[in-house]
Chain A
Amino acid sequence: MQGRLSAWLVKHGLIHRSLGFDYQGIETLQIKSEDWHSIAVILYVYGYNYLRSQCAYDVAPGGLLASVYHLTRIEYGVDQPEEVCIKVFVSRRNPRIPSVFWVWKSVDFQERESYDMLGISYDNHPRLKRILMPESWIGWPLRKDYVAPNFYEIQDAH
């Protein structure tokens, strides 16, 4: 089963892989990290002018890291806008993904959070630094192989 956007991308010779549909029937595509910036520009030109959310997760212990983008095409007079979900997978050894900050500005803090939590470094992001953890923190807290330091917290106080 091929979605609309996937067919359109095939027609224009853009490399991607369809990951099927999620429970709401939204098309999910996988895109290589080296193609991601150019395809993001193409999708913006195609009409996806709204980045609804960006998030990241650790796929499996020792496996890949994923960065997920939910795009929406906002137009006047449309009550069911076109949506698509893009996933970009990178290896945890050298996690580099081109930033789409210069395409969708709203990704700014969300990419910073993904960097902070999973250590994915977004190339060309203007101020990629930790946003939740202190700047001197070591390690990426949401990776599955993260070992929390044995910091003292008050737990027993009555």
Chain B
Amino acid sequence: MDWSFVSAHVSDFIGGAWVTLRFGLYGVLCSLVLGLLCCLARYFRVPVLKSIAHGYIELARNTPLLVQLFFLYAGLPRVGIRLSAEACAVIGLTFLGGAYMAEGFRSGLESVDKSQREAGECLGLTRWQNIRYVLLPQALATAAPALFANVIFLIKETSMFSVLAMMDLMNVADTLRTSGGRTIEVLFMLVVAYLALLLPVSLIATFTERRLRYAGFGNQRSV
């Protein structure tokens, strides 16, 4: 292991980690919004929208991100739609993540007893108030593990951004490896960099899930 090589290139990896983290988080946030909307369209059986949501979820979950990115980056320009690499990255990750988040939210909402929804309706709450105050808080407690797993999954999927010529962690590593031949050092730094990004997320997930469990709601049925 050549430590001088490692220390000489730490700043490259920090730059790559920043790209990975920034675009990963954009994608995660957009995925959460898209996923919630799709999930609600299906939960409330909104005509037309529920079918669109369903079709989209199946399409997004059953195609690889790599193919989705190629479609955005290389396919769309053929029909005159030219997007920057950054836009493709965020749109692609959101397209994939929205479907996974929708399924995560769904597992949470379905775990909330139907009578809770009726109790909210009986209080004269609007549909939106019912979601916001009654259903979603309970659903999130149950869905939290699945949603956090999705966050980690999506940040890892950013390694595909290298095909967009974005200088994310993966691309930084690839470039260094092919130009310098220091494969061991580069891969070591790559693993450390991903761990540094994702271990904190895992810890936050564990902490949050424990808090929710101790708060004492989520898995109780008749209360």
Q: Do A and B come from one complex?
A: no
